[in-house]
Amino acid sequence: MKTYTTLKLERDGHTALITFNRPKVLNALNTMVATEGLDAVQSISTDPSVRVVILTGAGRAFVAGADIAEMETKTAEEARIYSELGHRFMNALQDLPQPVIAAINGFALGGGLEVALACDIRIAAASAQFGLPETILGIIPGWGATQRTARLVGAAKTKEMIFTGRRFSSAEALDMGLVNRVVPDNELMETVRAMTALMCRQGQTALRHAKTVINRGLDLTLDEALRLEIDTFVDLFDTDDRREGMRAFLEKRKPNFTGE
C-alpha cells in the first residue's frame, strides 16, 4: 500500500483502512490531507482485492474540520481551489465501488462530518461529538454538508445545525438518523470489523451494483430509479457470482465468489 504524510493507508485482508493522522491538530483537513486522501481513494477504487473501506481518525478526533490555520490566509480564489479539491475528494469517496464505513472515534466537526457523510455507513463511538460550526468562522460548509446532510436528515435539521453551529452527541446523531449505530468507545473498531466481515462474505459484484443503484437512484425520479433496479437485477443474472451464489445455496455450502 502507498505511504502518505497526513494519513495512514493499511490493509487487513480484504479491508482497506484509512486513518486521518494529524492528531496534534485533531486531524484537521489541510490541502495535503485532501490531496493525499483523494489519491488514496483513487488507488483503492481500482483495486478489486479491496472489498470494504474503513475511515477513522488517530487520537481523540475523527476529524475536527478544515484546518483553520491554513484557511485563515486564503484568498477567495484559493478558497475555491480548496473547496473544489475537497469536493473531488468527497465525490471520489462517495463513488468508490466498495462499501465505505466511517468509524467515528471522536470529534466529527465541519469537514470531519462532511467526510463521514460521504461514506455509506457511519458507526459512532458513544463519546463522539458532531457539528457543523462553520458559521462562527464566517463561512459555510464547503465540502458538501449543505447538501449531503439535508438529503440524509432533512433541510430543517440541517439548517438548525448550520445556523446554530452547536455541537451534539452521538445519541442525538443517532436519533436524527445521521449515524447508523452508536457503540461503547472500546467496541468501535470491533463492531466495524464485524460488519466488514459480513460484507466480505456477500457477492462482491452484487454489493457494488447495489451501492450504485441506491446512490444513483437518489438522483432520479422514482420511476427511473425503479427501472434502474430492474436493469441491474437482470444484468446480475449473467454473472458467475449469481450462478455460484444460487448453486451454493441449493447444494447447502458456502459460496466461493470470484467477483466475476
In the complex, least distance from residue 83 CB atom to ligand COA, rounded to whole angstroms: 11
Instruction: Kindly state the cell numbers that stand for 110.
Output: 465541519
* E strand or H helix at 79: helix 76-94
**Catalytic residue (choose from 36, 72, 114, 229):** 114
* 174 interacts with ligand COA by CB under 6 A: no
* 144 interacts with ligand COA by CB under 6 A: no
* 68 interacts with ligand COA by CB under 6 A: yes
* 109 interacts with ligand COA by CB under 6 A: yes
**CB-based contacts of 239: which residues, under 8 Å, 6+ apart?**
203, 205, 206, 260
Compare residues 66 and 188 and give the one whose CB is closer to ligand COA.
66
- 190 carries an active-site annotation: no
In the complex, least distance from residue 104 CB atom to ligand COA, rounded to whole angstroms: 13
Compare residues 37 and 65 and give the one whose CB is closer to ligand COA.
65
Task: Calculate the alpha carbon distances from 255 to 14, 55, 198, 258, 259 in Å.
Answer: 17, 28, 13, 10, 11
Question: Cα–Cα distance between 114 and 210 in angstroms, integer?
Answer: 23
Question: Cα–Cα distance between 14 and 219 in angstroms, integer?
Answer: 30
* Residues making contact with ligand COA (CB under 6 A): 25-26, 28, 64-69, 107, 109-111, 133-134, 137
Residues known to be catalytic: 114, 134
